[in-house]
Structure 1
């Protein structure tokens, strides 16, 4: 008997050391990779090691007749370690298979349960140490039954998982066998309660359990290695996928879209069919992002990609080329036209997008070309589709087929682009200033800055000769920034030369006014040139406001708080109403020249202008009329109560040198 107990003590001690080292290895693995389930398994193996330490010390205490409280503590620690091992093993497997983390509240409840169960078992055995009933039912039968049910439940849990791998299957089979071992011994200890049977079976199970626990630990280690290998493979697949697809929408990226287009071009029987290469661009998508948020914009882009991919046209290629631009390629018979297909694409894009209980509607422009009719190189075909798209967007046409003349126009635009960029660099753009007359004081109130191009070869160019090209090239923001800085320079120079500052009205495009950097840009210029903000008057069209009302409101309020004036230019030509003016904290409205031209001879225009002035004054806004060219118009506007006028009658736009005579007047 003594020899058996000593052998058990050494076995338990060795197992405790082995499991302690394994738990240390798992801890290092957890620190390196941060897997949550590894932390659970680490504590599970550590709890098993503590349980084996307690069993080894219990055998030693039996030989040396240790006090009762020592036996109580060791029994409690053994039971608690064993139950904790089972609980944390199960939680770790659940986390590994489902990425599920048990809440702290639930873990506390489970641990209090096993603490209570361990304490009851330890107290019952300690109080009645020689009671065979307590030993059989609490120490052996109940303990084994709980463990049996636990491992069988773990086996059943793994069986119901959809994703299985070698390690999970191995653990499932092990848990089934190990669970049956505990259930069998639980019932056998009750039905066959002879000491000889228990002693002989117990000797065998001690070694069996030690080996099984070691096998279990190595199964977990294999699981870790398999999991990391699986993670690495998934990462490689993900990297390969991202190398070929757009991460936001799942559509092919530009490189892969072009590569797939070339493959279809090579496989297509040219005599029977053709490829239609469509470039689709969303209209006013920045407005969607600014109004509804980037998350909603991302959702819509993903939905667009899904709609295009699942189109009944069965596309050969669907790719996202840039922000809101998609490539859509279909194969079609040579004699078939694209009208019905284009209508389908427009309807596909225009169908409302539902997000956060709101419907969002957008539209698109399409430029397209054919293979092999328009070329046999994928990159060239894409460029031609892009030229057609540019033509569609510039002329507000839904869909445009590439034509040969567009390429020449595109090359011309490239040459113009170089000239315009050189003009910015060489400061060839200059400002002319048109005076604005205050009708109540008959004095200069301010000037409007108007851009001109002092072209090195063509001489002085009016805005209609180059502004359209600047818009097509997307250089509006650069031009606005240029005019803004030149205006600030002029205000500073006039104050230095003539000890006088004059308000300059500066036209702002929608792109620049909606730019979140505008405020900081203006603040920097005011500081750089030491200009009071009240001498800057930003003019925006009503359509700029209506494009994104919220952003416009926020920007206007910020500018007003800085002391900068904001006016509505060309009022009456857009699609807003005076109801919106009531909400906008603007300084004045500028009546478009189209209403002033015949105001003295056309009763309808007179009625409209009078209504505009009266309603604007009623809303607390000042009124400026532009395009005043004769004294009849001037006197009529004076009688109607117009505040300020501007036009050829007052003065033509003047270069900075010619404006000096106005500035010298008191």
Structure 2
């Protein structure tokens, strides 16, 4: 049996053992770094190991050790292993360049390999007379395929940006080995019968053994280099994210403050030694209604807008000293100023950057921003103080709906006042210190109670009953609208249910809704829940919204009103005529009632202009199918005049002032008899 173990077989067997060891190394690496390209190369080296093992069993010289059909099976397996080695080597190289390879391509490639190997090995092997054709299909054709594939891999590796030893080595190997296979394929066709061709085959045999060994170690070095490169990238990215916002690339709060402090220190030294007094302008920018942008257009477009804002600020013509993202939609923008006259240009420039249209995948979005700013060294000489004062200015801008506000002395005191008020207001909500007063509304046609308007008061434990003017502005400044409006709605529904339980009487209650609450997508669901919880027919709840709330976003307002009306909830426009819209908007708004502001009623009996305005309002509203209620009726002359003009309902001190529940209960008892 030892006669059959030729030197060539022993060489192939030794090489199979070497690649088995390499296979173990690859498997170890794959367990430590489960990358897909390592898995492909693991399969490739495994196929190469199997091919050398098969070659050790079937030396090129004829052998009687294996039967003829086993010889065919071994040749078929050898072809499959060699092709598997090639395609998974190629898949690994492609995947290492972060290119996704669909599973269907891998499955199709394997199926093609099996079919091609079967055709080239089995079909012509059965015909002994086709020996030359067999050689061309089993040797020359695979060489051509190997050569073209390896040269393509070399080209792919050359196009990558990765420039290290392992990448250059793999590129060189693919190119040289590709040329070797192409030359052999063409030479075998032309010189197969030449005496020197066998010597060339023997030379290439040893060349391949050496080249495959080099390839195996090159792939190992490539994996190590790739993991080291990924680790370095991860460390650099961690360092980058430690200083920058991951979404926009702008500096984070810590870094922008550090950069601001460093700049202040440099300017302090420069201003001492030079005549010029360079100032810093610290701007805080907040996007108006950014939650609405996310809810309407989606989070992806919202993220795109934030990134684009950061890019625009960083590329500003004012050459910013620092651009940072402090929170969700809040940015910090710091520039140098040589003259205070440039501040207005800078402010206009910032608003132009923010208000320029944002286009993303054929979606155009327009936004607006609020800006608050302060100056170094005029307002403060420390970074934290500058940030605090710019923040106070921004808060003032947002609270008063002003585009830009500069810091002024006194804002700090207002800020401290708001901090104290927030604690008091939240404690008041927790302790249920807010109570409702109810102002009756008289129907002028039936002369009966039409409903009541709920007006909030604060039953302060130390200060007594406080009117809304004492706390509503603070609630707005603190952004507590939603919480407070839901609280008032709940108290109104509780009162309505209580009155029906005790007096078996339903009274419509009108509740004022702020702009923020009315634009909340959960408003309709909240009202549905309250009506169901307290078993109140929807027609006994009326929501009052101001004219300016509607005109801010008329489309969204109409959608909300339509949903509420489909539930049976009435919607009225409060203080109509005091906003900036025209009466023509009434045509588009699906509201039930118009409430004429008290400013037009005060002198309606003595002022012809007010009389003409009120008459026009009533006629136009009736023409559009809307009911009309006049506020602030305080005299019998006003009442009689409004009745003659066709006004549907009135409220005011002449009818009754706002009543606490205990007095309104007496009113209900009297009416229910």
TM-score of the pair, normalised by structure 1? 0.89
Hey, what's the Cα distance between the residues in 1 that align with 2:25 and 2:516? Answer: 59
Is 1:151 equivalent to 2:150 in the alignment? yes
2:94 matched to 1:94? Answer: yes
Indicate the larger mover: 427-436 or 187-196.
187-196
1-side partners of 2:591 and 2:316: how far apart? 47
1:522 corresponds to which residue? 527
Matching of residue 433 in structure 1 with residue 447 in structure 2: no
2:224 corresponds in structure 1 to 225
- Determine the C-alpha separation between the residues in 2 that align with 1:446 and 1:27: 81
The 1:20/1:572 distance shift into structure 2, 3 A limit, reads farther
Q: Write the deviation string for residues 542-593 of structure 1: whole angstroms up to 9, x where unpaired.
A: 3323334454344434434444333332233334566655555543332333
SS in structure 2 of the partner of residue 88 of structure 1: helix
Correspondence 1:469-548 to 2 at 5 A = 469-548=474-553
Q: Deviations over 1:226-284 (max 9, x none)?
A: 22332232222222222221222211111111111111111222333222222222334
Find the aligned partners of 2:536 and 2:364 in 1 and give their Cα distance: 46
Specify the alignment match of 1:630 in structure 2: 635
1:178-212 Cα offsets, whole Å, 9 max, x none, are 22333343345455546865555545544543443
Note the C-alpha offset of 1:509.
Answer: 1.0
Partner residue in 2 for 1:314: 319
Deviation string, structure 1 residues 151-170 (Cα, Å, up to 9, x no partner): 22322321232333332211
Which residue of structure 2 lines up, in the alignment, with residue 127 of structure 1? 126
In 1, distance between residues paired with 2:160 and 2:197? Answer: 38
* 3-state SS in 1 of match to 2:653: coil
Q: What residue number does 1:256 align with?
A: 255
Q: Provide closer, same or farther for how the CA distance between residues 374 and 109 of structure 1 changes in structure 2, counting only shifts above 3 A.
A: same
Aligned equivalent of 1:454, options 453, 456, 459: 459
Pairwise CA distance, 1:507: 0.8
Query: For 1:209-224, what aligned pairs fall within 5 Å after superposition?
Result: 209-224=208-223
Q: Find the residue that maps to 1:573 and give its secondary structure.
A: coil
State the alpha-carbon separation in 1 of the partners of residues 362 and 610 from structure 2.
44
Q: Which residue of 1 aligns with 2:271?
A: 270
Q: In structure 2, what is the Cα distance between the partners aligned to 1:161 and 1:6?
A: 44
Q: Does 1:139 align with 2:138?
A: yes
Say whether residues 1:324 and 2:329 are aligned partners. Answer: yes
Mapped to 2, the partners of 1:210 and 1:581 lie a distance apart of: 89
User: Structure 2: which 5+ runs fail to align?
Assistant: none
Tell me which residue corresponds to 1:650: 655
> Are 2:137 and 1:171 equivalent residues in the alignment?
no
Contact 2:120 2:134 in 1 (8 A): no
Which residue number corresponds to residue 384 of structure 1? 389
Q: Is the 8 A contact 1:282 1:363 kept in 2?
A: yes
**CA drift at 1:506:** 0.9
Corresponding residue for 1:570? 575
Q: Bigger shift: 22-31 or 410-419?
A: 22-31
Per the alignment, in what secondary structure is the counterpart of residue 515 of structure 1? coil
Matching residue of 1:366: 371
- 2:416 aligned residue: 411
Report the alpha carbon displacement of residue 15 of structure 1 after superposing the two structures with TM.
5.1
1:594 alignment partner in structure 2: 599
| Structure 2 residue 357 is the aligned partner of structure 1 residue 345 | no
Q: For residue 396 of structure 1, report the CA deviation from its aligned partner.
A: 4.2
Contact 1:136 1:189 in 2 (8 A): no
* Contact 2:442 2:655 (C-alpha < 8 Å) held by counterparts: yes
Q: Take 1:500 and 1:217, find their aligned partners in 2: how far apart are those partners?
A: 91
Partner in structure 1 of residue 77 of structure 2: 77
Measured after TM superposition, the shift of residue 120 of structure 1 is 3.8
1:370-412 superposed Cα distances (whole Å, 9 cap, x missing partner): 2223222211111111122233334444433322222233233
The answer to which of 236-245 and 184-193 deviates more is 184-193
* Aligned counterparts of 1:64 and 1:603: Cα–Cα separation in 2: 126
Would the alpha carbon gap of residues 82 and 648 (structure 1) be closer, same or farther in structure 2, given more than 3 Å must change? same
Answer yes or no: is the 8 Å Cα contact 1:437–1:444 preserved in 2.
Answer: yes
Does the Cα contact within 8 Å between 1:136 and 1:190 map onto a contact in 2? no
RMSD value, Cα: 3.4
Structure 1 pair 618/80, CA: closer, same or farther in 2 (3 Å)? Answer: farther
Query: Residues 130 and 589 of structure 1: is their aligned pair in 2 closer, same or farther, counting only changes over 3 Å?
Result: same
Q: 1:546 to 1:191 in 2, by over 3 A?
A: same
Distance 1:155 1:417 in 2: 68
Which of 257-266 and 81-90 deviates more? 81-90
**Post-superposition CA distance 1:93-136 (Å, at most 9, x none):** 12211x22344565566556544543342146403446553354
Contact 2:125–2:134 (8 Å) recurs in 1:
no
After TM superposition, the structure 1 stretch with the greater mean CA deviation from structure 2, 122-131 or 500-509, is 122-131
TM-aligned CA deviation for residue 338 of structure 1: 1.9
| Secondary structure of 2:662's aligned partner | coil
**2:633 touches 2:653 (CA, 8 Å); kept in 1?**
yes
Query: Secondary structure at the residue paired with 1:404?
Result: coil
Aligned in 2, Cα 1:180/1:528: closer, same or farther, shift over 3 Å? same
Asked whether the 8 Å contact 2:454–2:510 carries over to 1, the reply is yes
- Between the aligned partners of 1:129 and 1:2, the Cα distance in structure 2 is 29
CA separation of 1:284/1:138 partners in 2, compared to 1, >3 Å: closer, same or farther? closer
Distance 1:193 1:359, change over 3 A: closer
1:184-223 aligned at under 5 Å gives the runs 184-190=183-189, 192-193=191-192, 197=196, 199-203=198-202, 205-223=204-222
Pick which of 229-238 and 570-579 moved more: 570-579
Look up the SS of the partner of 1:164 in the other structure.
Answer: coil
CA distance in 1 between partners of 2:556 and 2:33 (Å): 45
Separation in structure 1 between the aligned mates of residue 620 and residue 52 of structure 2, nearest angstrom: 91
Structure 2 match to 1:63? 63
Q: CA offset at residue 601 of structure 1?
A: 4.5
Aligned-partner SS, 1:437: strand
C-alpha distance in 1 between matches for 2:30 and 2:627 = 70
Classify the secondary structure of the residue corresponding to 1:374.
Answer: coil
Residues 327-352 of structure 1 show CA distances to partners (whole Å, capped at 9, x for unaligned) of: 11112336665223223223333333
Q: Report SS of the residue matched to 1:270.
A: helix
Instruction: State the alpha-carbon separation in 1 of the partners of residues 368 and 620 from structure 2.
Output: 35
Give the Cα–Cα distance (whole angstroms) in 1 for the partners of residues 545 and 578 of structure 2.
Answer: 13
